[in-house]
Structure formats: C-alpha cells, structure tokens
C-alpha cells in the first residue's frame, strides 16, 4: 500500500467527532441513553426499575410469556432433594425407640433431651458448613458440590443405620450435615435455570417434594424399623445370620433403603446433571474450553489492532508507572474496603432475606413443636384431648390438600400478584390465625357431645390449620425467591448458604425456647400466660417479619440480571437531568 492509498483510507473513515455527534442525535431522538453497568449503582438501578414497574402496572400490556420449565434438570435436582428430605422425615417414627434401645435412662420423660441432642448435632453442622458449601459452589461449581453431598450423604445415612450408641448416631448425623450442603445449593441451582416467569412454579416444587417426603419418610421409618419386634413370624422365614443381623441392627432397613435411593440419585446426577454456574471453575474447565479459546483469539486480535491504531494508550502509560509496594496496613484497608463493598453487604436486602428465613424457621418449628403438645393435652389441663390417630388423620388430610394447592394454585397466584405481595399478605394471614388457633379451646368436644358439635369443632380446626398452612407455603416460597433475587447469580451460593446457616441456627434453638415457653405457661395457666402464650410469641415473630419485609421493593420479584438488562436497554432521559 502506497502513502497516497493510506491517506485516502484515513479520509474515507468518519472522524471521532462525527461519530459522537451522530450518536448524540440518535440518543436525543429516542429519548433514552444507552449506558453501561458501571454507570448504575445499586440504588440507581432499584430506582429506575421501580419506576419501570410502576409504569408497567399503570399501562395495560400483553401478559409476559411464561418460560417452559426445564423438566430434565428439575427432575434430577428434585430427586436429590427428595432423598435429602427422606433422611430427615424417616427418623420421626422410630427415633424415640432408638433412644430407648441405647439404655441411657429408665425415665421416658428424659427421652426428649436425647432426641433434641441428636437433632442438634445435625443442625450444628449445617450451621457451620452451609455458607462454606455455598461459597464453594460459587467458585467450584454447583454440579461437583451436589454430587459430593449426595454421595457422602448416602454413606452417612447408611452408617446411621448401624447405630448402637448415642455418640455413634450423633456423629453420623453431624457428618451428614457437615458433608452435605445440598439444601442451600439446590436453591442456587433452581435460581440459575429459571427466570421471573417460572420461578414461582419451580420453587413451589421444593415444598411439594418435602410434603411428599413427609408422607413417604414416616412410612419407611415406621414400617421397616425394628422388624423383629413388628413382624417376628415374617423375620423367622429368613436365614439365621440375617435374623441375627436384623436383631443386632434394628434400624438398618430404612437407612439402607434411603441410602440406596441416594446412591441411585448420585448415579443419575453424574450422567444427567448439568453445570449451570457459568462463572465457576468446573464450567470453564470442562464446558467452555472452545469458547474460551475463541474469546482469547478475538481479544488478542482486538488488542493488536488497538495498539496499531493508537500508539500511545493507557496500557502503555500504566506500564511506565513505577510499582509501589503497599504496606500491611494499606493491604488490610484495601481488603476491608473490598469486603465492605461486596454485593451481600453493600445493600441491606441480601441479609434481610436471610434474617427473614431465620424468623420463618423459628416461627414454624415453634408452632410444629407446640401444636401436637397442645392437641394431645387432656381437656381438663387446657388442651384439645386429641388422640395420636386423630392427629395423624388430620395431618394427612391437610397435607394432601396442601400438596394439591402447591402444585396447581400457588404458582398461578404468585404469577398473577407477584411474590412480594403474596408474601406480605401471607404473613398477615398467618399472624391472624396464630391468634385465632388457641381459641379453638372454646369448641372442644367430648365423646358425649352431640354430632353437630363434633362437626363444628373438626370443621373449625381443619379450616384454621388449612388456611394457616397455605399461608405458610406462600411465605416459604417468597423467601426462597427473595433470597436468590437479592444478589446476582455469581453470589447465589453465598446468599443461600448464609440463609441455610441462619435457619439451621433457628431450628437448633427454637425448639428449646418454644418448649420451655409452652411448659412454663401451661403450668401458670392464667391469661395470657397459658396455652396461648407460645402462639402469641409466634404472632410477634410474624409482625417482625412483616416489618423487615418493608425493606424489600418490587424489584425483588425478578432476578437482578433481568432487571439490569431491562434498565440498560432503555433508561428515561429525565433520569439523569
């Protein structure tokens, strides 16, 4: 190329001033500014998206098309989630008999202490490890963490079946919670394979899966534990070595069954589970090698072009700058500022969602512990005088109705009114019915009462519990959605791990607090320090949850990536005036 040709080529290209003038006119005509992520702080982003959401509500638009759920990924994840839930719910029928077989005490009233110790060993390890597993899943990947947790969870469940001493059982449960962080990572995984149009439906399956585990788990634990005591004639049909094995380890069968399911879910996940965290090491190492090479080649070409076109660049100037060694104090100050600017701490929303989960766990486990105590307590002592059979039938019926509600109704309602609106109304309904529930004592009936009183009592009790449990389902669903939407996808693991640690702490402490309040208040039995007090405490927690939820804005209904892409596409001109 000659000198003349080179000059003609430069003259034919538009100058930087012409390009700038043209782009400015185009922006003025469209009344919007194309902006970069760096130009929007968290506060500006929330304000802009809040205005857009308000404008969308005022104008009638075509409903947003719902994205189909990725059923292949969901089926694998929920099978793993089901196995984890079964490991918890299967203990309920036989844990008291297991404590009795340990021969720790002759007083049955002291069994509850050892049962609480066994449960606490799991929640302590979950409190310690949940944040760690969430952070590892952000850096390493969701797939390896879920596979690791499923495999070693299956091993711990199997070893729990060989428990002959309390210390052995506690160690197995402790390591199960320590090595298995799937409860929090599964929620991160769900957040990455869904968007705002199908989040509610996907997360509702967590409640559905746990409801299913609440039915299957007790059946497995109740039917297959202590087989020699329950089915002696049937056990005698097997060889002597198998009989002696079952007699020596009476709780091995339910553990063996659940661990087998867990190993099957591990094999299925190994072949079918896909990595969804695109910023993780696993994704970069095994999935995006070719795309990384392409990006590196293109970036190298661009950098060479820039170096040729502009002989003096910021890069060259930065190379000429002398390297200044930082002191320890300056390094500490720099690291502290980076920590303070982290997404989970730069805004109160992420930690607020974690505390909402903590309060929800405290309220729920407090009610779940005291409700059966109040129900089976004799009528003359201020209880409902129900039998365990009646309690089981009522719980099974309500559980089936709740299952149908979570499957068909809840996702549609959340999609129509939004997660935040449903969440706040569910808290209000929950608080009201927590106050109403203990007043069912005025309708309590005995065997000599007429039929219409029985119908009134069971109808009122069933209706109160049904409304309360449906409201609780909306609260759990909203909490899961808010936790994910409070941060960007690269921090899903950290925020879900933090929330799981918080709720594990509440589930470790709340049963002790709730049981103590109920026992001491029933002993006094003077309004309001009677059977009502613990339910009033649960109501106060609901009020606290509602106040904390006021921190949240409507932007929490959608993932941050969707909000940022919508805001960057078009920002009103008067926003920057």
- The torsion angle over the Cα atoms of residues 97, 99, 100 and 106, rounded to 10 degrees, is -150
Q: Can you give the residue range of the structural domain that contains 528?
A: 349-567
Task: Judge whether 154 lies within some domain.
Answer: yes
Which structure tokens are listed for 213? 């585990």
From 249, 279, 309, the end of a domain falls on 279
Burial 494-526 (b: 16+ CB within 10 A, else e): bbbbbbbbbbbbbbbebbebbbebbeebbeeee
DSSP secondary structure letter of residue 59: S
Q: Is 221 helix (H, G, I), strand (E, B) or coil?
A: helix
pTM, rounded to two decimals: 0.78
Q: Show contacts of 274-277: CB within 8 Å, 24+ apart.
A: 274/73, 274/143, 275/141, 275/142, 275/143, 276/73, 276/142, 276/189, 276/192, 276/193, 277/137, 277/138, 277/141, 277/142, 277/188, 277/192, 277/489, 277/490, 277/492, 277/493
Which candidate, 479, 474, 467, places its Cα nearest to that of 353? 479
Task: Judge whether 512 lies within some domain.
Answer: yes
Rounded CA separation 97/245 (Å): 18
Give me the pLDDT at residue 404, please.
86
Residue pLDDT tens, the chain, 577 long: 444 554 544 454 444 444 444 444 444 444 444 444 444 445 555 555 555 555 555 544 455 688 898 998 999 999 999 999 999 888 878 888 888 889 888 877 677 778 878 888 999 999 999 999 999 999 999 999 999 999 999 999 999 999 999 999 999 999 999 999 999 999 999 999 998 888 888 998 888 888 888 778 888 888 888 888 888 888 888 888 888 898 899 999 999 999 999 999 999 999 999 999 989 999 988 887 655 555 555 555 444 444 444 444 443 444 444 555 666 666 666 666 666 677 888 889 999 999 999 999 999 888 888 888 888 888 887 888 887 678 777 877 887 888 888 888 998 999 899 999 999 999 999 999 999 999 999 999 888 889 999 999 999 999 999 999 899 999 999 999 999 999 999 899 999 999 999 999 998 888 888 888 888 888 888 888 888 999 999 999 999 999 999 999 999 999 988 887 766 555 554 443 4
Rounded CA separation 90/260 (Å): 14
Burial 292-323 (b: 16+ CB within 10 A, else e): eeeeeeeeeeeeeeeeeeeeeeeeeeeeeeee
Q: Under 8 Å CB-to-CB from 64, ≥6 apart: which residues?
A: 196, 197
Give me the pLDDT at residue 270, please.
95
Give me the pLDDT at residue 63, please.
58
Give me the pLDDT at residue 79, please.
95
Same domain, 259 and 359: no
From 227, 251, 279, the end of a domain falls on 279
Residue 268 phi, psi (nearest 5): -60, -45
Task: Judge whether 32 lies within some domain.
Answer: no
Task: Judge whether 321 lies within some domain.
Answer: no
Task: Judge whether 9 lies within some domain.
Answer: no
Cβ–Cβ under 8 Å, residues 189 and 64: no
Same domain, 416 and 551: yes
Same domain, 255 and 355: no
Same domain, 113 and 257: yes
What string of DSSP letters covers 440-488?
Answer: GGGG---TTS-HHHHHHHHHHHHHHHHHHHHHHHHHHHHHHHHHHHTS-
Same domain, 206 and 80: yes
Give me the pLDDT at residue 109, please.
65
Q: Show contacts of 27-31: CB within 8 Å, 24+ apart.
A: 31/572, 31/573
Rounded CA separation 380/471 (Å): 31
From 247, 279, 311, the end of a domain falls on 279
Give me the pLDDT at residue 6, please.
43
Rounded CA separation 553/46 (Å): 8
Domain tally for the chain? 2
Same domain, 255 and 362: no
Cβ–Cβ under 8 Å, residues 183 and 499: no
For residue 356, give the CATH number of its domain.
1.20.1250.20
Task: Judge whether 48 lies within some domain.
Answer: no
Task: Judge whether 508 lies within some domain.
Answer: yes
Which candidate, 140, 153, 143, places its Cα nearest to that of 73? 143
First to last CA, the chain: 49
Task: Judge whether 108 lies within some domain.
Answer: yes
Per the DSSP assignment, residues forming a β-bridge with 572 are 32
């Amino acid at each position: 190329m000659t000198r003349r040709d080179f000059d003609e080529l430069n003259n034919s290209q538009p100058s930087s001033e012409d390009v700038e003038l043209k782009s400015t006119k185009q922006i003025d005509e469209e009344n919007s500014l194309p902006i970069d992520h760096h130009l929007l702080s968290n506060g500006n982003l929330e304000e802009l998206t809040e205005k857009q959401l308000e404008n969308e509500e005022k104008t009638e638009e075509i409903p947003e098309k719902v994205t189909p759920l990725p059923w292949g990924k969901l089926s694998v994840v929920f099978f793993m989630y089901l196995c984890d839930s079964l490991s918890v719910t299967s203990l309920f029928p036989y844990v008291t008999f297991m404590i009795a077989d340990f021969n720790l005490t002759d007083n049955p009233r002291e069994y509850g202490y050892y049962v609480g110790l066994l449960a606490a060993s799991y929640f302590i390890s979950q409190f310690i490890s949940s944040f760690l597993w969430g952070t590892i899943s952000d850096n390493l990947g969701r797939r390896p963490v879920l596979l690791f947790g499923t495999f070693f969870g299956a091993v711990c469940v199997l070893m729990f079946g060989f428990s002959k001493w309390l210390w052995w059982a506690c160690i197995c449960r402790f390591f199960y919670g320590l090595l298995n962080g799937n409860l929090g990572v599964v929620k991160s995984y769900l957040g990455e394979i869904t968007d705002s149009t199908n989040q509610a439906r996907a997360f509702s399956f967590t409640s559905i899966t746990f409801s299913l585990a609440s039915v299957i788990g007790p059946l497995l634990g109740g039917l297959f534990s202590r087989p020699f005591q329950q089915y002696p004639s049937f056990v005698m049909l097997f060889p002597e070595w198998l009989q002696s094995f079952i007699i020596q380890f009476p709780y091995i069968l339910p553990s063996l069954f659940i661990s087998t399911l867990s190993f099957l879910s591990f094999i299925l996940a190994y072949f079918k589970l896909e990595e969804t965290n695109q910023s993780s090491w696993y994704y970069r190492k095994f999935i995006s090698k070719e795309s990384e090479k392409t990006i590196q080649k293109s970036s190298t070409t661009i950098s060479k072009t820039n170096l040729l076109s502009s002989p003096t660049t910021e890069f060259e100037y930065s190379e000429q700058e002398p390297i200044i060694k930082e002191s320890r104090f300056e390094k500490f100050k720099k690291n502290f500022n980076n920590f303070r600017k982290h997404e989970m701490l730069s805004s109160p929303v992420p930690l607020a969602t974690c505390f909402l989960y903590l309060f929800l766990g405290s309220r729920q486990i407090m009610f779940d512990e005291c409700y059966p105590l109040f129900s089976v307590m004799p009528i003359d002592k201020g209880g409902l005088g129900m039998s365990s059979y009646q309690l089981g039938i009522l719980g099974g019926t309500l559980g089936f109705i709740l299952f149908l509600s979570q499957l068909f109704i809840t996702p549609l309602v959340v999609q129509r009114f939004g997660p935040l609106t449903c969440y706040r109304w569910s808290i209000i309904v929950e608080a009201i019915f927590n106050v109403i529930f203990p007043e069912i004592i005025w309708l309590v009936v005995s065997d000599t009462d007429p039929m219409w009183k029985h119908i009134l009592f069971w109808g009122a009790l069933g209706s109160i519990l049904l409304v309360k449990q449906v409201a609780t389902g909306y609260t759990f669903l909203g909490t899961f959605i808010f936790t994910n939407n409070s941060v960007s996808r690269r921090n899903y693991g950290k925020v879900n791990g933090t929330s799981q640690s918080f709720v594990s702490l509440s589930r470790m402490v709340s049963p002790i607090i709730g049981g103590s309040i109920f026992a001491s208040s029933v002993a006094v039995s003077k309004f309001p320090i009677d059977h009502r007090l613990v339910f009033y405490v649960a109501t106060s927690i609901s009020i606290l949850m509602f106040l904390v939820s006021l921190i949240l804005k409507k932007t929490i209904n959608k993932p941050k990536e969707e909000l940022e892409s919508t805001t960057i596409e078009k920002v009103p001109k008067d926003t920057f005036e």
